[in-house]
A and B are shown apart, each in its own frame.
Chain A
Amino acid sequence: MFDVQTLIQLVVSGISVGMIYGVVAFGYQLTFATSSTLNFGQGEALMLGSLAGYTIMTQLAAHLGLPMPLAYALMLPFVLIFGMLQGAIVERLGVRQAIKTKSEAGWIMATIALGIIFKNLAENIWGRDTFPFPSPLPEEAIQVMGIRILPMEVLIVCGAIALMAAVELFNRRSIYGKAVVATSADIGAAGLMGVNTAQVITLSYALSSLTAAFAGVLVGPVTLTGASLGSALGLKAFAVAIIGGLNSGMGVVVGGVLLGITDRLTGYYISSGYQDVPGLVMLLLVLSFKPSGLFGKAKIKKV
């Protein structure tokens, strides 16, 4: 039963799906760092990005007669903007009030509620079925040493890394990025130094949904797309964010890949029904013993 080739195949497949988890988890980390809140509806942000991208892309292809790869490329900036707007809405409606009143249960329930609303609206606009997302790259798998890799999977890995690198660069180089880092470190001091922390938080939510939307159009061509795309992914990405550490950018990448591989291996060697279990168990273990995550830094309580 044990076949090295199959094992490598599963690992490779796991890496690509893991990168998706990592990108979504990256979004969690962005908002948590600046505001100690996160979007429980992040999975729905991914789903909306995927569906919006699908509509824009097919409309572009149909009305302008463009070939799919070009339509896909043209669609990307629109989806990124869409993602930013969606994130800003979540922040405005769900999170801002709760931050002001320091009510934790408030933003948790509000972001959950927004996620539910988005999913239901998506079901009514795009229907409840899943449907295929046109692939910008050829659908035939390429063979590398007997391992089959879809071109799209390669794009996922490259795209995910590129996006996270871009955001990190933004944080380190631009002045807005520095404002984000300052707010993450100490929101009170940053405010006193003239940083508009409210804007920074809005920006972090916008960036967070941007990464989720981007992940949505990356993953769409590989799986089918539809209104229920987000739910399972959102929870997996949580696990990655926690395992990797909500304060560490590197952690989410490692955590994502780890989880993706574990998923695939469990699905094959044990049973596909149990696929999600190891990730969730890892999540519980990490929260039990090292809540700051494998790569995170524990915060010292000051009384």
Chain B
Amino acid sequence: MRFARRTMMALVATTALTSAAFAADPIKIGLSGPFTGGSASMGVSMRDGVRLAVDEINKAGGVLGRPLLLVERDDEAKNDVGVQVAQELINKEQVVATMGYINTGVALASQRFYQEAEIPVINNVATGTAITKQFPENNYIFRMSANDVIQSGMIAEEAVKKRGFKAPAILADSTNYGQLGQKDLEAALAAMGIKPVAEEKFNIGDTDMTSQLLRAKAANADVILTYAIGPELAQIANGMGKLGWHLPMIGSWTLSMSTFIDNAGANGEGAVMPQTFIQSPTTPKRKAFIDAYQAAYKVDRIPSPISAAQGYDGTLLLAAAIKQAGSTDGAKIKAALENLNTKVEGVVTIYDHPFTATDHESITANIPVFGMVKNGRVVAENPADLEGANAVRVKAH
């Protein structure tokens, strides 16, 4: 018995050594996201989108002749776990750059370690406005998603200008995402001379929204504006159903999460949200991406299409930057990102000088369109938004 075990251990050691010898020294890229918990559908989609891009890049020979190696860590959407993950990726795994974050709070808590270590962070999904503003000098943080200033502006515009609502109630979760987003929303509404009639808060994991909805009802709200994630958003929709009090839901992009759509069922129909990407093969690139995703992961509907698309695009940009920098040095990669010479065709848009030294946002307000939940999927609220010349909108410089 003991002999067999010793042999086993020797075998294991040999295999590890030889496999290391075969590979050309890979470029380690960290990947931090929630793969479990309420935000998991976003994290998993982002991860899958990134993996898709990494596979494509490696098949084409890698970057600088070396393959990209993803070091994936589950931050569980918890700020404290994100901090530990960041420290592990920086100090133990010694990654060259990190792709992340889904949750604004996790990003805000963890990014300072990368900034200190001068390692670039590509935020694929997190939308908190403060994320790219955390470090005004020599900023190492970049973003692929539409930030909350953009989204809250769009939400306010849709609710007030387009649909004429005058008494919005804001329902936001207690995380950094919900709270900071709520502030952006208040500012956007104030700019239009509107003040919310109710502002309600809830925790991740809460299942009963009756109290919050009753208070909004008592305040005679005419529309519900949301800043939360899938499971809780579903509870809001279902809560309204239980009370027999149906108001339209307009909110941040997370209303496109599969966990919202599936759990809200009929109660979620008609919810609208800003989207940078809707799962629809409107261009050859997008079709290729959707097909590849469906084939690789055996799904029909991508759980969070935006997370997947932005994750994919972020990887392409990072690879292009490393190639341009000609090295894995963090400062050089950062400089390359801020001055990208090559045009990169992504899923969301075509990137032409997406970043500069002072602007780390790849998405401007003209790119996202409004999506709507219809028959269990997200479609464009206004189909014309995705047709013809509108299919690809590029960053307004």
Contacts and interface: CB of A to CB of B under 8 A. Distances in A.
Interface of A: 1, 3, 6, 9-10, 13, 123, 128-132, 139-141, 148, 150, 223-224, 228, 264, 267-268, 271-273
Contact of A129 (B38, B203, B212): B38
A131 B263 contact: yes
Contact of B244 (A3, A129, A132, A148): A148
Interface stretch (B235-243, B287-295, B384-392): B235-243
Contact of A132 (B212, B218, B265): B265
A257 to B, nearest CB: 17
A141 B242 contact: yes
B231 interface: yes
B263 A148 contact: no
A132 B206 contact: no
Contacts of B214: 6, 9, 268
A172 B33 CA distance: 56
B175 to A, nearest CB: 13
A6 B216 CA distance: 13
A129 B41 contact: yes
B218 A224 contact: no
Contacts of B265: 132
5 contacts: A123-B36, A128-B37, A130-B207, A271-B201, A272-B201
B234 interface: yes
Interface string B208-227: 11111011001000000000
A128 B263 contact: no
Nearest to A226: B231
Interface range, B side: 20 to 34
Given A129-B38, A267-B211, A268-B211, 10 more contacts: A6-B218, A10-B210, A128-B37, A131-B263, A264-B210, A268-B215, A272-B208, A272-B209, A272-B211, A273-B201
B203 A273 contact: yes
B276 interface: no
Contacts of B234: 224
A3 B214 CA distance: 11
Given A141-B242, A223-B207, A273-B201, A130 B215 contact: no
B263 A130 contact: yes
A129 B206 contact: no
A140 B235 CA distance: 16
A131 B205 contact: no
B242 A224 contact: no
A228 B201 contact: no
A264 B203 CA distance: 16
Contacts of A272: 201-203, 206, 208-209, 211-212
A255 B214 CA distance: 26
Contacts of A3: 218
A1 B218 contact: yes
A224 B243 contact: no
Nearest to B217: A6
B205 to A, nearest CB: 7
B263 A150 contact: no
A7 B203 CA distance: 23
B211 A129 contact: no
A148 B242 contact: yes
A132 B201 contact: no
A-B CB proximity, top 5 nearest: A268-B211, A267-B211, A223-B207, A128-B36, A272-B211
A189 B150 CA distance: 75
A129 B218 contact: no
Scoring A223, A271, A272 by chain B CB atoms within 10 A of each residue's CB, the highest score goes to: A272
Contacts of B263: 130-132, 224
A129 B258 CA distance: 11
A208 B243 CA distance: 34
B262 A132 contact: yes
A267 B244 contact: no
A3 B215 CA distance: 11
A42 to B, nearest CB: 19
A128 B40 contact: yes
B174 interface: yes
Nearest to A268: B211
A283 B212 CA distance: 26
Nearest to B38: A129
Contacts of B231: 129-130, 224
B259 interface: yes
Contacts of A150: 242
A139 B37 CA distance: 27
A267 B231 CA distance: 19
Nearest to A272: B211
A46 B41 CA distance: 26
A117 to B, nearest CB: 17
Interface string B230-269: 0100110000011110000000000000010011010000
Scoring B41, B208, B231, B263 by chain A CB atoms within 10 A of each residue's CB, the highest score goes to: B208
Contacts of B206: 272
Nearest to B36: A128
A116 to B, nearest CB: 15
A44 B36 CA distance: 19
Given A128-B37, A129-B41, A129-B259, A141 B211 contact: no
Given A132-B263, A150-B242, A273 B218 contact: no
A128 B40 CA distance: 8
A228 B206 CA distance: 11
Scoring B41, B203, B207 by chain A CB atoms within 10 A of each residue's CB, the highest score goes to: B207
A140 B243 CA distance: 9
Contacts of B241: 139
Contacts of B36: 123, 128
B40 to A, nearest CB: 6
A143 to B, nearest CB: 8
Given A128-B40, A267-B208, A224 B235 contact: yes
Nearest to A128: B36
Interface string B35-70: 011101100000000000000000000000000000
A3 B217 CA distance: 12
